[in-house]
C-alpha cells in the first residue's frame, strides 16, 4: 500500500479539517480532505492490499477449513484401509462358517496320538483341526479392528487406542502359540522314527498342546474380549456407524468374558459369541464400504451421520 506523500503538499490545518463538512470545496476548487475521508482512503487501500495478498490462499479453497474438514482430509488417506477392513469382515464371517462346518463333520482328536494319525492321513484336515483357519481369521479380525479404530479415532481416541493395543497383544500371544505347523512336523518325524524315539515325540506334542491351550490362549481370549467391549462402547457413544453395530459388538464381547477352555460353560459361550460377531462384521462391512466411498468424496463426517463432539 502506498500512502500519499504529505510532505509534497501544503500544510493542512487539522482544526479546519475537523470543522469542514463533507463535500465542501476549497478555494482551489477541489474537495477538502477531511479526517474522515482520509481514514476511508487509508482503510480502502489496506483492505485492497490484504485481499491481493490472500488471493492465492482463497483460490485454493474458498471456505475456511473447519475441524470436520481436517478430519475428512485425514480419513480420505485411509480409504484403502477402510476397504480392506470391509473385505476382512466378510472374510471373517466366511472362515467362521467353514470352521464350524469342519468341526461338526470332523471333530478334532482328543489326544496327541490322534493328531499324529490325522496329520499322516490328511495333513490339511489336521491343520484345520488345530485352528489353522482361526489363525487366518485372527489376522482378518485385526484388519477389521484397524478400520474401526480409524473411523472412531477422532471421536473416542483414548478408548480405541487402548482397545487396539490390547488386540495387538492378544493376537501376538495367540499367533505365536498356535501349534498347527509344529504338530505337522512332529507327526512326520513320528511316522519315520524308531519305536524307541516315538514316546519322546509324543511328549513334545503334549507340550505343544499344553502351551497352546494354556496361558497364551487365555491371554488372547481375555484381552480380545476386553478390546471388543471397548470398541463396542466407542461405537455406541460415537454412533459413527450406527447404534446396531455397537449393540452386536457388546453382545459378542460379553459372551467372550468366559474363555472357551473353561469347561462346558465356556465352550457354549464361545460358540454363542460367534453369532453376534458375524452380524457385527456384516454391518461393519456395509458401513465401512460407505465410509470409504464418502472419504473418497471428501465428506466422510456427513455421510456417516456423525454429529457428536470428539470424545476422550
Mean pLDDT of all residues belonging to the chain: 77
- Furthest C-alpha separation in the chain: 128
The one-character DSSP state at 71 is: H
Phi, psi (deg, nearest 5) at residue 311: -95, 180
Are 288 and 78 contacting, i.e. CB atoms less than 8 angstroms apart? Answer: no
Q: Convert the pLDDT of each residue in 217-267 to its tens digit.
A: 888 989 999 999 999 999 999 888 888 999 999 999 999 888 888 888 888
Q: How would residue 304 be classed by pLDDT, with cut points 50, 70 and 90? A: very low
Q: How far apart are CA 266 and CA 264, in angstroms?
A: 5
Burial class (CB in 10 A: 0-12, 13-18, 19+), 60: exposed
Considering the entire predicted model, what is its pTM?
0.68
CB count within 10 Å of CB 74 equals 14
Task: Give the number of C-alpha atoms closer than 13 A to the C-alpha of residue 110, restricted to the C-beta side.
Answer: 0
Q: How far apart are CA 273 and CA 251, in angstroms?
A: 7
Q: Which of 148, 100, 102, 104 is nearest to 126 (CA)?
A: 102
Statement: residue 56 has pLDDT above 50: no
Q: How far apart are CA 70 and CA 90, in angstroms?
A: 30
**Per-residue model confidence (pLDDT) at position 191:** 85
Q: Convert the pLDDT of each residue in 83-138 to its tens digit.
A: 999 999 999 999 999 999 998 898 888 888 888 889 888 999 989 988 888 889 99
Q: Convert the pLDDT of each residue in 127-181 to its tens digit.
A: 998 888 888 999 999 999 999 999 998 888 899 999 999 999 999 888 888 888 8
**Per-residue model confidence (pLDDT) at position 28:** 44
**Per-residue model confidence (pLDDT) at position 297:** 66
The ranges assigned to domains in the chain are: 6-51, 68-303
Statement: residue 58 has pLDDT above 50: no
Amino acid at each position: 500500500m502506498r500512502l500519499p506523500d504529505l510532505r509534497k503538499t501544503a500544510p493542512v490545518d487539522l482544526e479546519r479539517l475537523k470543522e469542514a463538512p463533507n463535500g465542501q470545496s476549497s478555494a482551489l476548487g477541489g474537495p477538502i480532505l477531511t479526517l474522515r475521508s482520509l481514514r476511508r482512503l487509508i482503510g480502502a487501500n489496506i483492505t485492497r492490499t490484504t485481499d491481493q495478498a490472500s488471493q492465492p490462499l482463497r483460490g485454493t479453497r474458498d471456505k475456511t477449513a473447519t475441524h470436520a474438514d481436517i478430519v475428512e482430509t485425514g480419513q480420505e488417506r485411509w480409504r484403502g484401509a477402510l476397504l480392506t477392513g470391509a473385505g476382512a469382515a466378510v472374510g471373517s464371517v466366511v472362515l467362521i462358517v467353514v470352521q464350524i462346518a469342519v468341526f461338526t463333520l470332523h471333530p478334532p482328536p482328543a489326544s496327541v496320538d490322534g493328531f499324529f494319525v490325522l496329520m499322516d492321513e490328511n495333513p490339511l484336515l489336521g491343520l484345520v483341526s488345530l485352528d489353522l483357519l482361526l489363525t487366518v481369521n485372527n489376522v482378518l479380525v485385526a484388519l477389521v479392528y484397524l478400520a474401526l479404530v480409524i473411523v472412531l479415532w477422532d471421536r473416542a481416541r483414548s478408548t480405541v487406542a487402548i482397545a487396539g493395543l490390547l488386540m495387538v497383544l492378544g493376537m501376538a500371544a495367540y499367533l505365536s502359540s498356535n501349534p498347527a505347523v509344529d504338530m505337522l512336523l512332529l507327526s512326520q518325524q513320528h511316522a519315520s522314527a524308531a519305536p524307541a524315539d516315538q514316546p519322546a515325540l509324543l511328549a513334545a506334542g503334549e507340550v505343544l498342546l499344553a502351551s497352546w491351550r494354556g496361558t497364551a490362549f487365555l491371554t488372547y481370549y481375555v484381552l480380545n474380549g476386553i478390546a471388543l467391549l471397548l470398541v463396542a462402547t466407542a461405537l455406541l457413544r460415537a454412533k459413527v456407524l450406527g447404534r446396531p453395530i455397537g449393540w452386536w459388538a457388546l453382545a459378542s464381547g460379553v459372551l467372550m468374558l468366559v474363555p472357551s477352555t473353561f469347561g462346558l460353560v465356556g465352550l457354549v459361550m464361545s460358540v454363542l459369541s460367534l453369532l453376534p460377531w458375524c452380524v457385527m462384521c456384516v454391518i461393519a462391512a456395509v458401513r465401512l464400504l460407505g465410509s470409504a466411498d464418502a472419504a473418497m468424496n471428501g465428506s466422510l463426517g456427513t455421510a456417516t451421520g456423525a454429529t457428536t463432539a470428539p470424545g476422550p
